[in-house]
Amino acid sequence: MIKEIEVKSVLNKTKKRDTWFLDDYTFNPYQSCSYNCLYCYIRGSKYGSNLATSLSVKVNAIELLEKQLKKRAEKGEYGFIVLSSVTDPYINIEEEYQLTRKALEIILKYRFPVHIITKSTMIERDFDILKDIHQQAILPKDLQAKLSGGTLITFSFSTVDDAIGKIFEPGAPKPSQRIEALQKAIQAGFHAGVSMMPLLPFITDTTAHLEKLFSTFKNCGANYVMPATLTVFGNGKADSKTLMLNAIKKHFPELEARYLKYFSNSHQLPEYYRNAFYLKMKKLAETYGIKDRII
């Protein structure tokens, strides 16, 4: 059941801009998510095992955003607003409530740059506003020489295989649909790329799958790829570690022993694995001529 709630604040100032996502601010018009990705770092929170059943709409989000952005603009405190940091800005209920689109209209009004991170093709609906933001936004001074405009679009992938996506991202649009949306974003002139977070050990971080990922995104014309490996948390039935281990046992039983070895007593892979992973990602990015960061 969808809950409608009121909140006291919606625009969050980050302590330090993240080097991956360039976030000076974050904005989340919704709580929880309808995509139900098993590896989601929110898993284990109050939202429960099925995030789609705990969706909340911040019904006063647009009013608050306008007030907060107006104050920031008056002080000249321009910076990238990331939509969204704890849920997808284009989850299914956006079709009804359209809070993301309304928020983009406010962001355009006050000329803030924006970074959209999504698994959804619904973003195509808002290309018109995003183009205006791209042209009119005031970039932070230290980024003005590094970016061509004020809109960044990042599509999230853990795989480009629809069958694998159905297992681990059961409520999200198919990877093949996201690939088409990425192509359209690039063709529309946006600075667009890919977050490969997380890649799944022994499933989507294999040499064969990585070659498929990088070649696909290279052919799309992606401006960047940002890879990261898997982290999982908690031992409760709603936690990402439990859900991932159950999925591995059911769909990839030959990998169960490996996952138990690495994740039974840890939320992340061993340091040697992570070091090898990032070295491999760097080499692949160089081979395919794609940046491994936005800037």
* Interval 6-58: pLDDT, tens: 999 999 999 999 999 999 999 999 998 989 999 997 765 555 555 656 789 99
Kindly state whether residue 123 falls inside one of the protein's structural domains. yes
Tell me: pLDDT of 216 over 70. Answer: yes
Kindly state whether residue 294 falls inside one of the protein's structural domains. no
Kindly state whether residue 68 falls inside one of the protein's structural domains. yes
CA dihedral of 164, 275, 20, 176, whole degrees rounded to 10 = -20
CB 294 within 8 A of CB 145: no
Which of 270, 280, 272 has the alpha carbon at shortest distance from 209?
280
Which of 76, 65, 40 has the alpha carbon at shortest distance from 197?
40
* Interval 227-248: pLDDT, tens: 999 999 988 888 899 999 999 9
Instruction: Give the pLDDT of residue 48.
Output: 53
Domain at 106, CATH number = 3.20.20.70
Handedness of CA 49, 81, 188, 221 (dihedral sign): negative
Tell me: pLDDT of 66 over 80. Answer: yes
Kindly state whether residue 295 falls inside one of the protein's structural domains. no
Cα 74 to Cα 58: distance, rounded to the nearest angstrom? 25
* Interval 90-104: pLDDT, tens: 999 999 999 999 999
Kindly state whether residue 293 falls inside one of the protein's structural domains. no
Kindly state whether residue 224 falls inside one of the protein's structural domains. yes
This prediction's pTM = 0.95
In angstroms, how far is CA 131 from the centroid of its own chain?
20
Across 96-167, where does the E strand assignment appear?
114-118, 151-156
Q: Which domain holds residue 170?
A: 3-288
Phi and psi at 42, nearest 5°, equal -75, -20
Domain count, the chain: 1
